[in-house]
Chains A and B, each alone.
Chain A
Amino acid sequence: MPMKGRFPIRRTLEYLQKGDVVFKNFVKIMTVNYNTHGELSEGARKFVFFKIPQIQYKNPWVQILMFKNMTPSPFLKFYLDDGEQVLVDVEGKNHNEITQHINKIVGKTQEVLQAEALAAMVTSNPANFGHRKYCLRECLCEVEGQVPCPGIVPLPKEMTGKYRNQMKAGQE
């Protein structure tokens, strides 16, 4: 089954996870105004085409809107928690430059991201057994190389308590 679309790599998980713009918590809405023709909107168009999927994947709770051919020059607008609006002029810029710019203004820094990852690691220990929601495994029978679940594969007779008790009763 071939991939669909012009640049189907944009739909791969690997590409999406490579995105490095994670917005700060107070950014709620992002709006992109750009034009479909014109040399000055070229960077904005490339940004919308290549970078928006990555951004939306990393920020699933941020609403991203696109407006075409409404203004003569392209720009981005961020609507923050407290009603503040941040305007970012994007005319004539490269799509990489735009990404770096917004990363600097409203993106979480590498240190913050690492600290958050550490905190997440502390709360969720992968060695714990428990409910699927909180832990990786529920029972030791799910681990490869361990005794399989007796509910699925019956234990050999020698390992059952019934047989052992019978043997003990027989001996005494």
Chain B
Amino acid sequence: LLRVAKCPVQVCRFLSPRGSVLIETVRGRKSRNDPKAKSKQDRVKVPPPIDPVEMVVLKERYTQYQMIMRALRVEFKEQIMRRRYEEEVGSRAEERTKHEAEEHRALMAWNDAENLRLRQLREIRVQKEVEELAMKREEAIGLQEEKRRKILKEKEQEILQLQEDVKTFITLENLDQRIEEALDNPKNYNFAIDKEGRIVKRTAIP
């Protein structure tokens, strides 16, 4: 058996009369073109019998009841709308917005103060870095200059040394003299050394 009530079927609102129960238009077990059942072919659908006296009384009571219910509903809706209106555009709302705006301004001021403080710290830091950079550059220049000076000095030293060495050079004029000197003073390059490391330069002449 198909449980009609539990079927997830779209509820057809515009077929049901206003104010009454919502009828779910469900086709049930049969589709549109299925014929009537044999046992129901001669069935004449008769509406339920109505008692006119009872109907009159019922109608009056219904009108009163529906009037009261409608009035209650409208009252409640009005209450809710009034509450919402007061919340958004009421005296309290204005105070609240003013209060919030003031708080906002105060917080923004505090934020600006923080930013200022950090900005000053940053400026100091940046200045220090710039100074350090300048100092480093100066140091580098100084070192370079010192290097240059050292090189110059060394070069000068070499030149002086060379000038002194020139005196001991053998030239064409000195040649004969130097040869005579060399032959006169034989130099002995031999030496002896023992295990303790004592050097002996005076050895036997070959």
Q: Which A residues lie at the B interface, using CB under 8 A?
A: 73, 86-89, 91-92, 101, 104-106, 149-151
* Contact yes or no, A88 B111, CB < 8 A: yes
User: Among A87, A105, A150, which residue has its beta carbon within 8 angstroms of that of B107?
Assistant: A105
User: Among A87, A92, A104, A150, which residue has its beta carbon within 8 angstroms of that of B115?
Assistant: A87
The count of chain B contact residues (Cβ–Cβ below 8 Å) is 13
* Contact yes or no, A105 B111, CB < 8 A: yes
Interface string of B80-117 (1 = CB under 8 A from A): 00000000000000000000000000011011001100
* Contact yes or no, A89 B108, CB < 8 A: no
User: Among B3, B115, B119, B122, which residue has its beta carbon within 8 angstroms of that of A88?
Assistant: B115
Q: Does B175 touch A at the CB level, under 8 Å?
A: no
Q: Does B74 touch A at the CB level, under 8 Å?
A: no
Q: Does B72 touch A at the CB level, under 8 Å?
A: no
Q: Which B residues lie at the A interface, using CB under 8 A?
A: 3, 5-6, 107-108, 110-111, 114-115, 118-119, 121-122
Chain B residues whose C-beta falls within 8 Å of the C-beta of A88 in the assembled complex: 111, 114-115
**Majority secondary structure, B binding face:** helix
User: Among B6, B107, B110, B118, which residue has its beta carbon within 8 angstroms of that of A89?
Assistant: B118
**Majority secondary structure, A binding face:** mixed
**A105-B107, A105-B108, A105-B110 known; A89-B119 Cβ under 8 A:** yes
User: Among B3, B114, B122, which residue has its beta carbon within 8 angstroms of that of A101?
Assistant: B114
- How distant is B126 from chain A, measured CB to nearest CB, in Å? 9
* Contact yes or no, B3 A89, CB < 8 A: no
* Contact yes or no, B107 A91, CB < 8 A: no
- How distant is B108 from chain A, measured CB to nearest CB, in Å? 7
CA A149 – CA B5 in complex, angstroms?
12
* Contact yes or no, A86 B6, CB < 8 A: no
